[in-house]
Amino acid sequence: MDPAPKDGESAAGAEPGRGGTAPSSGVVVQVREKKGPLRAAIPYMPFPVAVICLFLNTFVPGLGTFVSAFTVLCGARTDLPDRHMCCVFWLNIAAALIQILTAIVMVGWIMSIFWGMDMVILASKYS
């Protein structure tokens, strides 16, 4: 007679021969981040410009994002290659406005700081 499975353990998971998987099966999993249109519109800027935008976003929410929108017009690359430059520019302006308008309840300020950190991370990968 088989013992009953313990809490959190299923009968199929307990016995690999019956359709469950062995704990050391050696499966490799690749994780790829799927970005939304606003997040994918963050431009790849030179590192010093990204640091300045992070500094601006830290003290005046949305200002660094607003400045980064103009780098798109200067030819900065984004993760939206199929969209026109003006569309990506307006997406960055929209992100800046969201950060400015929601800074009153601290959400925009936190979003602005994370946006600036993403700019620096992308700039370090670009360099």
- What is the spatial distance between Cα 87 and Cα 80, in angstroms, rounded to a whole number? 10
- The count of residues in the chain is 127
Cβ neighbours for 105, distance < 8 A, ≥ 6 positions apart:
none
Q: Using one digit for the tens of pLDDT, what is the confidence trace for 33-50?
A: 778 888 999 999 999 999
Q: What is the pLDDT of residue 25?
A: 75
Instruction: Note the pLDDT of residue 123.
Output: 94
Low-confidence spans in the chain with pLDDT less than 50: 9-15
